[in-house]
Structure 1
Amino acid sequence: MIKLLLNTLYVQTQQAYLRLDHETIVVEVEGTKTLQVPIHHIGAIVMFGHVSISPYLLGKCANQGISVIWYDAYGRFLARATGRTSGNVLLRRAQHQILEDEKRMLHIASRFVSGKIRNSKSVLQRGMRDYPEKRLRLEQSVKQLDQSLRNIGKQTTLDELRGVEGYASSVYFEAFASLIRSDEDGFFAFTVRSRRPPRNPINACLSFAYSILTQDCISALEGVGLDPQIGYLHALRPGKPSLGLDLVEEFRPYLADRFVLTLINRKQLDKSDFDMRPGGAVFLNEKGRRTFLAAYQKRKQEEIQHPIINQKVPLGLLPHVHARLLARYLRGDIDEYVPFVMR
């Protein structure tokens, strides 16, 4: 899959080869030209997995200040090459300066929380359509989430905003159980979100999905030159990817929660995919992780019409698109960071 989004060329097609042809970038797959684009239209090249680039094109990119970023086939960040001049220093300076401005920190953090709550609401609204018999229960939770959205703008401190986010999360997960199709023995029953450790199979799946999504967001931030540890909603601690966790929030309901619901409700996972540990902890075993990851990688290839850039975007590139939008906002290139909200 090859996509040009926000002046960035994303190449996910395995065995693709990128080369320079005069002032254009040519992408070939098995000797066949699949794309040719003027190099002055490109601000960055992002490659996933077994994708090759010619030394001449790499040199041209370095000379023109075009970043080249490598990820492995699973989306883990590997490296970034830039020329002698790069905007990363100024970008990171802007990222750090916001830490000294509580008002701006609160504003950016509120965008992440707004995206999360709006997407949580959409998950429940979809449940209202899929399970009409549960409509009244879910409708009550949707109304509570609407109130949380209205409350975001009334908060004057980060702790108050985190309180709104925490309350909305508890409302959402109280209703989440209604979205799980009941099984005969109640193996996939869900009552409350438990994290360290997860206490039932649903929580095990959610925790695993969130850990994968967090790594995807960290990699996306590193790819655009942002420091994943300098965030605004999540408190700063040594080794904690605060900005990565910030970016995860808006994607949790759509990329993680809905995916877990699909796996469970379609019976793609069963009892044999989980290990029960002493003390009540539940984890996906090796067989379960293989099934989970195979389905997750397949879903990342699905495309949606992006509501902001008005282009079709593979789900796996959503964190990359929004990391780039966030970088543009922090640099002052755009007036506002708009979180991803599913339709």
Structure 2
Amino acid sequence: MRKLLNTVYVTNEMAYLTLDGENLVCKIDGEIKLRIPFENIENIVCFNYVGCSPALMGKCVGKTIPINFISPQGKFLAKVCGETKGNVFLRVAQIDKFRESGLVLAQNTMAAKFSNTRQLIRRTLHDNPELREDAEIQKVIKVLATGIEQLYQAQSIEEVVGIEGYCAQSYFSIFNKLITNKKVPFTFELRTKRPPLDPVNAVLSFVYTLATSEFAAALETVGLDSYIGYCHMLRSGRVSLACDLVEEARCLVERFVIGLLNLQIIGEKDFEQQISGATWLNDEGRKKVLTRWQEKKRSDMMHPYLKQKIPMGLLPYVQSNLLAKYVRGDIETYPSFLLK
């Protein structure tokens, strides 16, 4: 269990939360592991199966502290809360803020995406000296740098989206070179989404979907409406705000997928191809990817804004919390996630 930005995250699946006077108590196997005064808590997010006591839930309802239950895999399950009028005001503020500052948010988000993508490429070059002089890779690095400059000259979100599209196309033109293990039995030519047409695209799409659902769950815990975004257009059934925030974290997904391929954790037997040409992970392939993704989410990373280590799986919750604080006016700007 850890506390970040006045939100308590219960990441141990066997933890049990209970009440002791004016304190939240965390127990594992009957032993008290942590005690936190309620005055220091705004929100509780539980990734555990054991749950919490009815007395604690009653206390949190009385103090309007939401308790959010998320499966260990990142799926939003339920929320226990009191009056919802606070969320109503937050969502109205969300709409107003996005109308007022949507362009700036979109520019910062895409700039963070381009910067993180450059970091991913440079990491590959660091580990593979033979690629450092590759003209196509160096050209893409320059395209991304130029793209960041162009973003802040854009006069509309549509321009931002256009710049993002060109930079993404350039990046994926050299993505196959980042798969450096020559024993990988398949190659990547271009990004195909609906449906994915090759194994690499199938894994990318699957993990992008996992990440987007985790951001949607995180936004639910802080009271923001994941269907109202600032960059992705409103579309019935699409969690546009989750799609916006996941842009900053796509580099983590892509690094993860590159690792799966280079380490040959997944192979030809993990896919199935449809008559239509679509390629999907089969049951065994999905199991492999999910297992590794869960392991990856438990690994620690340094958060550039908080200046402290967090499990990678908490990144969507930290970023959603920061965005909610920005919408409420608690902080002046939303700090996009930047790889260092």
TM score, norm. by length of structure 1: 0.95
In 1, the alpha carbon distance for the partners of 2:98 and 2:15 equals 41
In the other structure, the counterpart of 1:201 is 199
Deviations 1:67-123 (A, max 9, x none): 11111121111122222365211110011223543xx11111112211211111111
| Maintained 8 Å contact 1:65/1:86 | no
Question: Residue 290 of structure 1: which of 262, 279, 287 is its match?
Answer: 287
Match of 2:271 among 274, 282, 286: 274
Q: How far off its partner does 1:251 sit?
A: 0.6
Q: Output the aligned Cα RMSD.
A: 1.4
Partner of 2:223: 225
- Preserved contact between residue 187 and residue 201 of structure 1 (Cα < 8 Å): no
Question: In the alignment, what sits opposite 1:6?
Answer: 5
Taking the aligned partners of 2:172 and 2:322, their CA distance within structure 1 comes to 29
**Contact 1:180–1:265 (CA<8 Å) still a contact in 2?**
yes
Letter in 2 for 1:118: S
Q: Deviations over 1:299-329 (max 9, x none)?
A: 1100112110112111111001000100110
- Does residue 303 of structure 2 align to residue 306 of structure 1? yes
Q: Distance in 1 between matches of 2:201 and 2:93?
A: 37
1:174 partnered with 2:173: yes
Instruction: Give the 3-state SS of the residue equivalent to 1:206 in structure 2.
Output: helix
Q: What percentage of aligned pairs have identical amino acids?
A: 40
Q: Structure 1: how far apart are the matches of 2:74 and 2:318?
A: 14
Q: Relative to structure 1, is the Cα distance of residues 141 and 337 closer, same or farther in structure 2, using a 3 angstrom cutoff?
A: same
Tell me, in whole angstroms, the C-alpha distance in 2 between the residues paired with 1:146 and 1:298. Answer: 32
**Are the equivalent residues in 1 in contact too, given 2:70–2:76 (CA < 8 A)?**
yes
Q: Within 5 Å, which residues of 2 pair with 1:1-343?
A: 2-84=1-83, 86-101=85-100, 104-137=101-134, 138-184=137-183, 187-254=185-252, 256-343=253-340
Distance 1:239 1:279 in 2: 25
Confirm or deny: 8 A CA contact 2:19 2:53 kept in the other structure. Answer: yes
Question: In 1, Cα distance between the equivalents of 2:319 and 2:168?
Answer: 22
Deviations along 1:215-268, one digit per CA (max 9) or x if unpaired, are: 1111111111111110011011111211111111101112x1011001010010
Unaligned stretches of 5+ residues in structure 2? none
Contact 1:182–1:189 under 8 Å retained in 2: no
3-state SS, counterpart of residue 300 of structure 1: helix
Tell me the distance in 2 between the aligned counterparts of 1:274 and 1:320: 32
Q: Is the 8 A contact 1:182 1:188 kept in 2?
A: no
**Residue 296 of structure 1: SS of its match in structure 2?**
helix
SS in 1 for 2:82: coil
For residues 9 and 51 of structure 1, do their structure 2 counterparts lie closer, same or farther at Cα, with a shift above 3 Å needed? farther
Deviates more, 1:196-205 or 1:138-147: 138-147
Which AA in structure 1 matches 2:247? Answer: E
Unaligned runs of 5+ in 1: none
Query: What's the TM-score once normalised by structure 2's chain length?
Result: 0.96
Opposite residue 127 of structure 2, the aligned amino acid is D
Count residues with an aligned counterpart. Answer: 338
**AA at the equivalent of 2:60:** C
